[in-house]
Each structure stands twice: as structure tokens, then as C-alpha cells.
Chain A
Amino acid sequence: METILLINGKETGDMSKGAYNTGLIDTARETLKDHYEILETVIEDGYDAAEEYEKFKKADIVVYQYPVFWFSCPAIVKKYIDDVYGYDLFFGHSDGPYGTGGLMAGKKLMLSTTWNAPLTVFDNPDSLFEGLSFDQALVSMKVTHKYCGFEILPHFHAHNIVQAPNFEEDSKRFAAHLTDTLLQPNAQAAE
């Protein structure tokens, strides 16, 4: 049985209580528990960098669930990565070309993000973001994990979750995304 590490990157504050993201983690656990051994981290509850490394070593697949703050991950997720992704653990020296020293090769990463912004404001020259592509907010996370050797799985995203939340629908879509990506024979094709 393969192992999945579910990382809950919620950061609780006045405007964000973390319930949506915790709910989607519950969806992932329910969907995957009969097929994978599940490891979990809730960053906000605290962590030990060495223990986290052991979880990553054991995991075949890592799923990050977080709300997008300022077109990026919450600060605690960035701090977690700065703290945990150490030299000689996640990446090492390579005599090959740049980006070939990743020590997490063979593992896969899935990002699942929640947004207040509706999908229609992206790739739209008339919107506030002047054509900004939705993927640009994820570039740093994707390249970070590629650098460490991960394959990147298709991304899941839920929108408009503050102004017009529909958790039931998003949870169903997430379960279907996980099923398509991780539970079908010959699934797990990278992006």
C-alpha cells in the first residue's frame, strides 16, 4: 500500500477560519483511506522539522491543501517549507544541470487551493489582473517541488469561497479529482 501525506496549510485569522480547507482535507482522507496509508500534518498545530522529513521520506504522494493569500501560500506554509526543505534532505549537490539535485525523485505532489477570487478574473485582459494567468500564483510552489525531484500532479482549485461558498459541490469535485488522479488504473499522469 502506498502512502499519502496530507498537509493542511490553513492559517486561522480574522478573515479565514480554516474550516473550508479542513473540510477538504476530510474529503481527501475519506476518499483515499481504503487505498493508501494516510499521514497528516496540520502546520498551524506545530511541527518538528526532522519528523516532517521522515513523513516526506515515507510518502509516495504529498497533497498540500491551503487557502491562497496574496496570490501565494499563507506565511506559515512558506515558513514550513523554509524550515523543513533542507539541504541534503530535499535537495543536494548535483554535477548535472541546474535542478537535477532533487532527493525526492519518484514522489508526486498535488496542490489543492481555495480562492476568494472567481476563476473568471484570470486570463482575462479586462480584469484587475490584466490577463494574469491563474497558474502564475502557483509557479513558486511548482518549481520548488520540481527542484526537489517531485512530479507535479494535476491541481485542484475551489473559487469564490468567501462570497459564494458551495462546500458540498467543491467537496464532490475534489473527491472526483482525487479519484481520477489517484485511484484509477494508469492514473497519476503528471501535468
Chain B
Amino acid sequence: MKKILVLYAHPRPERSEVNQVMATAVQSLDHVTYVDLYADYPAFDIDVKREQDRLVAHDIIIFQHPLYWYSTPAILKEWQDLVLQHGFAYGSTGRALAGKVCMNVLTAGAARAYYTEGGALGREMRDFLAPFESMAGLCRMHYVPPFSLYGAGYHADETVTYTHAEDYRRLLIALGRDHFDYQAAANVPELSDGLDQFILKG
């Protein structure tokens, strides 16, 4: 199995029922290491060496977070700024992440239809996450499009939440087994539009 590192960033996890359900769905998987960044570093005092070691020890890096102001919560940005050092993650001698896979798994309050070219926000979620795609490029990582739950506000539908959490689990199992069709997923805006297209049978 490929090893998966989930870096979870939610400043108030007790208020996110959706993310709690998602956490429960994947934490029990043997090939998944689940890290709660706000719990580990409440004062943003990120241990760079420990985080770099975690990255090296895994094949697939998942950033799990709510969308905060069309971006990630601040601690994930701090993690990027501190951990992805020149000479480690990028630069002529920085190859520690080369060949690894990364993606965003996120929850957003607004509806799916808003995140389209003709929608209220005028662009896809993937476009808001372009900084991550560029980061992957600079670190020679393979970027997978986001897997998002939309409409994840206070009135999130319970059935939708549990179905999504189960899909998240299926995604992490498929990635772990290398039963994921990277080529088919490469250019789509959003995995959750049709996850089954990307999960290979067998």
C-alpha cells in the first residue's frame, strides 16, 4: 500500500460536524497517518524537522481543510511557508518531494454551481487552489484535482455528509492500492463530480 499523510487544518474542529465524520471515516485505515495541525501546533510553533520527516515517510500528501476566504486556514499556509524549505522541497538540490502525489480535500459553504465559470464565483474550486498546483510543480509533485464537499454549512444534509465521508474513504483506499486513474483525473475540475470514473476496479 502507498502511505498517505493527511494534514488536517481546522481552527475550530468541534464546530465542523462534516470534518469530524470525514476524519472518522479514514482515521482507522492502516496506510493513513492523520495529523491535526491545529491540535499539534496551537501557537503555530511548527516543528519543521518533524514535518519534513513525515513528508519523506509518505507517498501521498492530502491537505484536508475548510475553505477559508477562498484559500486554506492560516496554519496550512504557515506550514507551507516553514516546512517547504529551499534545498528540501525545491531548488536544484531540493528533491525530497519529487514523485510524490498531493491534493486538497476540502469543505466549502457555497453550492457547487457557484464554483463554475458561469456561476457567482466565476471559476472552479481548482482555480482558487492554483497556488497548490504551482507548489506541486515547483516541488516536482503530481497534483490531483480537489475532492470537495459543497454546501457544507450549518445545514449540511446528513445523508450527503455520510455519503461524502464514505467516498473519501474509498478514495484513500484506491490511492493506497494504486487503483486510481491519474490520467483520467488530470484535467477535471473536481473529483467529487464523479469519483467512480477515477477508481479502477480490481
Contacts and interface: CB of A to CB of B under 8 A. Distances in A.
Interface of A: 11, 13, 15, 69-76, 78-79, 81-82, 85, 97-99, 128-130, 132, 136-137, 139-140, 143-144
A130 B70 CA distance: 23
A15 B89 CA distance: 15
Given A70-B131, A72-B71, A128-B138, A139 B77 contact: no
Contacts of A71: 130-131, 134-135
Contacts of B21: none
- Which 8 residue pairs across A and B have the least CB separation, nearest first? A79-B74, A75-B78, A71-B131, A136-B130, A75-B77, A140-B70, A98-B120, A140-B71
Contacts of A75: 44, 74-75, 77-78, 80-81
Contacts of B78: 75-76, 79
Interface of B: 11, 44, 68-75, 77-78, 80-82, 84, 86, 110, 114, 120-121, 123, 127-128, 130-131, 133-135, 137-138
B68 A82 contact: yes
Contacts of A78: 68-69, 71-74, 77
A98 B133 CA distance: 27
A88 to B, nearest CB: 16
A69 B138 CA distance: 12
Contacts of A143: 70, 121, 128
A13 B46 CA distance: 14
Contacts of A140: 69-71, 128, 131
Contacts of B82: 13
A18 to B, nearest CB: 13
Contacts of A15: 86
A184 to B, nearest CB: 29
Given A74-B77, A82-B11, A136-B134, 18 more contacts: A11-B81, A13-B82, A69-B81, A71-B130, A72-B71, A72-B77, A75-B78, A78-B71, A79-B77, A79-B78, A98-B110, A98-B114, A136-B127, A136-B131, A139-B130, A140-B69, A140-B71, A144-B69
Contacts of A81: 69
A49 B127 CA distance: 30
Contacts of B69: 78, 81-82, 85, 140, 144
A136 B123 CA distance: 11
B80 A69 contact: yes
A128 B120 CA distance: 31
A139 B123 CA distance: 10
Nearest to A80: B74
Contacts of A76: 74, 78
Given A129-B134, A132-B134, A70 B70 contact: no
